[in-house]
Amino acid sequence: MGSPAKFAHVVLKTNKYEAMVAWWCDFLGAHVRHGNDFISFLSYDEEHHRVAIASLPHLQDAEPKTVGVEHFAFTYPDLESLFAQFERMKAKGIHPYWTINHGFTLSAYYRDPDGNQVETQVDSMTMEEADAFMHGPLFAANPIGINVDFDALLARWRAGEPAASITDYATAGA
């Protein structure tokens, strides 16, 4: 048995259907490929849908202290795109609750209207570098990462500092 070719989509169930569809369309720059009163299929690329949102108005709100998915992540192609998303959401009054340098990614975490956690990230290492990092002493000592200030990182990037310097784990949080 082989591994899958790709991760295709996630389906979210909600009692806040219209708010969730609007938030996810805006957050991902997605559009509804098909939607009705029960389900919407959202896509931002060549995939027929990346996120589907199902309306189940009888559901209770999720309890934060229960088991389940912690978060899921979307990778941006470069630091400029990640910062553009950060600025776009900030202008709408939507702020990340956590910004962190994981070593192999620079990431900002958000919550949707239901409280689902979503990470936006940019890779800061090649796969080979990330593998070596994850097998090294820095990652073993801190497998979560170092909190960073995206506003400060954005200012450094706008001042012309190279992306490699901004995403560097050794100087993260400094």
- State in Å, rounded, how far the first CA of the chain is from the last one: 46
Burial class of residue 153 (count of CB atoms within 10 Å of its CB; 0-12, 13-18, 19+):
buried
Q: What is the pLDDT of residues 16-34, one digit of tens each?
A: 999 999 999 999 999 999 9
Answer yes or no: is pLDDT of 174 > 80.
Answer: no
Domains of the chain: 8-57 (3.30.720.120), 71-174 (3.30.720.110)
Whether residue 160 contacts residue 80, with contact meaning beta carbons closer than 8 Å, is answered with no
- Would you place residue 170 in the very low, low, confident or very high pLDDT band (cuts 50, 70, 90)? confident
